[in-house]
Structure 1
Amino acid sequence: MKTGIVLISHGSKLSSGNDGLFKVADMLRAMNRWDMVEGAFLQLAEPGFGEVVKRIVEHGIHRIVVVPLLLFKGNHVYKDIPEMMENEKAKYPQAEFLYADNIGADERIALIAADRIYEALIEKQYGGKPRIEQPQDIVDESFEIIDKLVDLQSVPELHRPIIQRAIHATGDTEYAYNLIFHPKAVGAGIRSLKDGKNIVTDVNMVKSGINKGPVEKFGGKIICKIAEKSVAEDANRLGKTRAIVAMQQSIHEMKDGIVAIGNAPTALFELIDLIKKGLAQPALVIGIPVGFVGAVEAKYALKDVSIPYITNTNRKGGSAVAVSIVNALIKLAKE
């Protein structure tokens, strides 16, 4: 069934005060997940809710999700919008209306607020300072800023540098809240590195970003087979991704080592299958692939394996995050 989205905002007499709603609608349209996304105002501005619903129904869309872009619950959320929906249901009995929750008190709102606070203070705190060009000074300044944006005091001590480096690599403070650590993950990773075991990666971008000097000094290697000829040949023959075949061909190299997956959900799914079959025995899995297809599902599946892991539970991730986690573990192993 086709789905239309109606975003509802309060409305303002100032046209500039209404632009934000249309920008959010544009962002949702760009996701290409729904057939139609429109904005409507409760009062003081056009279009109104009824006009937008009429427009959607005229496009042959009969499932309409109403999303109040209102921060907290009040009369608009509890009374006004439901009454408006009932009126439209009477006009269009063939349409199904679904009422989404309002924005509400959400950690992501707190993170946005923290960013806005920092933006307001940055000119006062750093305005007029000379540009920082020395690499270590840039890193130190970055970590000072991260410490001001997120409070990690309640986080286990060995988890903090890993979270900080993930935030530093991405500029995304959400990693303060959505990285998930198996209780034995950090210890397993440090022991594996100190014992000179290998690091296996899903893509060369992850391999290239890892600080190989300390790894080699410990006695380990950083291995990625995705570009090898045999992997490409087997992938074509089997009709599978090279990431899957690369994991299959890296079973021996990953024993008691670290597997870092930052790009390919199929690599993580395959690794999980290999672990469950007893064919792969890494000491730690860093499963942080990015993407819309399979990434979230693979991360949830990872939490069911017996091997220590570090992951998250949303679409975010990527090579930079995987690299940052590995390099944080390397730094801890050197201490």
Structure 2
Amino acid sequence: MNTANVVTEQLTAAGRAIEHDSFAIIDAEAGPHAAYSDEQWFIVRRMIHANADFEFNGLTEFHPDAISAGLAAILRGGTAIVADVEMICVGLSATRLAHFGLFTHQFISDADVIVQAKAEATTRAVQAMRKAHRLGLLDNAIIGIGNAPTALIEIVRLIREEDLRPALVIGMPVGFVSAAESKALLAQIDDVPWIGIRGRKGGSTLVVAAIHALLGIAESRQRNAA
């Protein structure tokens, strides 16, 4: 009987060996991580693997319901993953998404988004989130923001002012203007689950890593339930 993940692992034995050796090195060098549960560490470790930056052991924060909410959204199938930039959608494994019936969306370069951003003197990222909301894609979705702090600020506004209820917000925008502030706002949200990073660090690769880690945990849950 198979006791290992198949869909969410590297496709070759050599690739799996390299990845598993990398995780072993991270575990050996990371130092204490008692602040994280086993499943939270599974996510943080993959984020470290994506950037070779051990500061994410400590900078990464989880809403108490983040893991359970993310897994429920993945395992129910048909869940939308809405990203602030195309890089996240491209970085996610199509095979892994298809296994769970997940679909990605991003609108940052849509012509109407650009026109509206210019008309309202806002950013494309803000208008892209508003477009996703108008299309009914954000409620019950996994929202991944790795590039644009203004997108995350808009999501927080929609949660507070328009009763938006995504399944999970993965808020990890990188940068020097409003990045740390946007993530601090996210950390104040109690009624929507989130995963975030304190400070300026972040990036789309980290959002991809976090989602891939959640997919790996979800496959383990599927396999154990079979």
1:233 partner letter: V
Paired residues of 2:149 and 2:174 also in contact (CA < 8 A): yes
| Greater RCO, CA 8 A, separation 6+ | 2
Identity %: 36
Q: How far apart, in 2, do the equivalents of 1:202 and 1:146 lie? A: 29
Alignment partner for residue 112 of structure 2, among 221, 227, 230? 230
SS at match of 1:314: coil
Poorly superposed stretches of 4+, deviation over 6 Å: none
Q: Which residue of 1 aligns with 2:209?
A: 324
SS at match of 1:286: strand
Give the alignment's Cα RMSD to 1 decimal: 1.5
Paired residues of 2:46 and 2:213 also in contact (CA < 8 A): yes
Indicate the structure (1 or 2) with the bigger Cα radius of gyration. 1
Q: How far apart, in 2, do the equivalents of 1:233 and 1:134 lie? A: 48
Q: How far apart, in 1, do the equivalents of 2:176 and 2:95 lie? A: 34
Q: How far apart, in 1, do the equivalents of 2:102 and 2:197 lie? A: 26
Paired residues of 1:201 and 1:260 also in contact (CA < 8 A): yes
Q: Which residue of 2 aligns with 1:239?
A: 121
Paired residues of 2:33 and 2:57 also in contact (CA < 8 A): no
Q: TM-score, normalised by structure 2?
A: 0.86
2:144 partner letter: A
Q: Which residue of 2 aligns with 1:221?
A: 103
Paired residues of 1:192 and 1:256 also in contact (CA < 8 A): yes
SS at match of 2:38: coil
Alignment partner for residue 181 of structure 1, among 54, 62, 67? 62
**Unaligned regions of 5+ residues in structure 1, if any?**
1-132
Q: 1:152 to 1:198 in 2, by over 3 A?
A: farther
Deviations along 1:144-180, one digit per CA (max 9) or x if unpaired, are: 1101111456221110110110000000001111100
Q: Report how far residue 217 of structure 1 moved.
A: 3.1
Q: Which residue of 2 aligns with 1:206?
A: 88
**Unaligned regions of 5+ residues in structure 2, if any?**
1-12, 221-226
How many residue pairs match? The answer is 203
Q: Report how far residue 137 of structure 1 moved.
A: 2.2
Q: Which residue of 2 aligns with 1:160?
A: 41
